[in-house]
Chain A
Amino acid sequence: MSHTPGSRLPQREGEKIDRKAHISFLWSNKRIQAFRGDTIASALFAAGERVFSRSFKYHRPRGLYCCSGHCPNCMVQVGRTPNVRSCVEPVREGMDVKPQNVMGSLTRDLLQITDKVGGPFTPVGFYYRTMIHPRRAWPLYERVLRNVAGLGRIDKHARRAGRFDMEHRHVEVLVIGGGRSGIAAAEIAAGSGHQVLLIDELGVEDGLHIPGVEVIAPARAIGIYEGKLVPVEAGNILYRIRAERIVVATGAMEQPLLFPGNDLPGVMLPMGARRLINDWSLKPGDLAIVIGTGSEGLAMADDLTGAGVRVADLVDLRSRMPKLHARGSKGRLAAVGIDGYEQECDLLVASGGRQPNYSLLAQAGGVIEYDPARGIFVPTILPEGIEAVGSVAGEMARGAVPAATFSGAGGAGKSFVCICEDVTEKDMKRAIAEGFEGIELAKRYTTVTMGPCQGKFCHLPCIRMYAQQTGTDEATIGTTTARPPWSPVSLGVLAGRGIEPREQTSLHYSHLAMGATMMWAGSWLRPHSYGDAEAEVKAVHHALGLIDVSTLGKLLVIGPEAAVFLERMYPNKFADLKPGRIRYGVLATDGARIFDDGTIGRLSENVFYVTTTSTGAEGVLEWFEWWNAIWQLDIEIFNVTGALTALNVAGPRVRELMPRLTDLDVSNESFKYLDLKHAEVAGVPCILLRIGFVGELGYEIHFPSPFGEYMWDKILELGADLGIRPFGVEAQRVLRLEKMHILAGQDTDSESNVLEAGMPWIVKWDKDDFVGRWSLEEVQRRGLKDKLVGFEMANRSIPPEGGQIVLDGSPVGRVTSCRWSEEVNKVIGMAWVPMALAEEGATLSIKVNGSVKAATVTLKPFFDSEGSKLRS
């Protein structure tokens, strides 16, 4: 029996190859010729290849089996992508295809030794029982196991292989499956005026054309999720299809027979043999035996004869239940034994009948029950809006032949229940003997049904075997839970393209032009520095600095009850805040947990201007809106974060700059610290806020974003002779740390409250109820446990954020911020410490790189502790 190149038949009607279009590709560095319309597997088969892969555990040779993209037998590595099903992957010019899970070559795999001698040492579940002692040898065991078992290899250094995208779709009717029933359903739905989408897993580009129906093919439904959501994988696109009605037409799958040698190359399912002949005009073998049920077996035999294959024997399982075994030679099928009589052959087309592919229906919540009359599991009750048509609904001449799939076994050798995971009949029996009697337990213990085919070829045989071994029936054993994915899907498709929302201020390009290093602050991009953060700090302290603070959240709270609302939201008072004045506020939950902070300025009697942290605008808006949904106060809240650009100009020379920009009197007498004024700056109407986050005398200028670049350039131009410098987030962090101004979310976490964060002055107990009040009362009653304090290092080592504060060898606190400050001439920081250590001058022991360094507690700001500069 010879397998010579030349399996290709003369041109046949209906073939899917274009014999005029030649394509060539590499297979194990050997050039293979193919036609357009070929898949990798069909081209290789035409070139004489019969072994396509080595099995998962025993490294047995495996050949084409289903040829429909379901079984694991034809999986290969294409370029850097492992586990490509070569039977459905179209050939492309120059593609580099290699076998996987092989040491040596496909025909001489050194690891085949596991099949010959490994049996007694590698029974089912061996990895739960062996290779446990000695424990230190595990890394060695692991390395060996990972080399021996598995499906392909991932290139750890590989980059994204391609661009993956997600597309959201909404349709009235989604039809899954483009077989006869699926097409009929789509036609009927489209005919009655519905918007219809049909997906088919094998459809080719020029395949399906149904009037009024959109077709996506080849595409595979991964599952049916709640809300009739169907993710569909179509190459590099994941469609997320939301359907009002779903018609499942996934058909039925031919089921393998269990007998020794049932995995040899040359043993095929009818669907595989049929595709070789009809789609690619390939002769699947020379001498064949057909085992089937009724007319389906006859039809198969006819197809084979038509392709020039001699059919040595045809067994109809309905009339005869033979003992089967297959004998191999040189890793291929050589003979089939039927009731002890061996017949030489190189092809065995065998099927135990068809089982509906109900998995998607079960995922959607359908009830699946065993029909003993037909020997198959069928959907009986379906959820509203989900329908099943055709074979999947059990509409077929006859179902599977129950007994044939199991009790026909005869002869010696391995009989595989699951070809994906190399689980044998013996393994299953052993699992039952060990007490794994339920089908769900058996699945987890033996990994049967958990391989690439997702149980398409092993679920039913496995249930039948269990029924027979335990003396029950299929209905009693039941099915395992159907879960996505129904078809294997690459991780890239699920991950999609890396699309992150990104916010940039109106000054983004000005920053880039000035050489800023940008950093992420939530979804914002902000300048980290413009090259020299230390010089930027120095400029603010000794001349002038300018920073873009547009990322601050900005909300307008407007209405007659705005003050009442804010009094309830914040622990401090706002009713007494005069128009034109600003107050710092901290937002906390009813559990008193700090989650944001900012300033609140009163623009007029009924209008408040609230700022939040850079990442807090959306959260604070949501929080405000939620409370007002409950309270229904007469206010409106507007998010003006993007509409307004905000700059902070600060430094000792700011009063020299301001008169060049505005006519407003900026003397300390008429524009005091924490005042807010409307004014024209450089001709632009602005809100000016005298706030000092960075510790030096300064002004925040808020104005319409379209003027952003103009204002930025103008201020830098007019301040040039005063030594003005733009500064970034890094400089700002040093400056604010010198003042011990907290960063909510950095110096505080979900356990922090304002009392322990060292801001007891903010809480006004003499006002009505506010959010967080009761919990703060409880904190006060039980006494403070920890406190947020400042510290100065004794030397120049800088503890990391999160660094441990230790007391008698145990961790008692942690560092939240730490920087070198040129101005203070020390390493300064903030930390949470127990109350016992929260005393001015107390000594802290802080872990830095494994050693313990000393620091001194400071309760007052490191720089300008009295705040005289801010008020000057």
Chain B
Amino acid sequence: MAQVGIDGDSLVVEIEGLDKLWALKSRLVIPLAHVRGATADPGIAREPKGIKAPGTHFPDVITAGTFHRDGERVFWDVHDASRIVVIELADEKYARLVVQVADPQATVALIESAVPSR
């Protein structure tokens, strides 16, 4: 699971507990100007993930780490699909982050209120 917060002009995604190990990542800091939006989207868990590199993927148990699909790099940290938030990025290493959070609606509202409208 991940903790998503805003720190100044940045979106901070903290990977919690053992997921740090599975995802090989403990923290992502993204300038808010590079965040395009956030969406609660449980259904994305059923999509093909692409090629894992590096990371961990036990289907239906855990998807964590970096996955490559359609020429894009996507970061996953998900055990429970019902609490997925998809965060779309621009001009970053990752095209999007697919993370499990405690409260998807609250996380989406937090990100949408922090990201400037365009």
Does A pair with B? no
Which residues from chain B sit less than 8 Å from chain A, CB to CB? none
Binding site for B on A (CB under 8 A): none
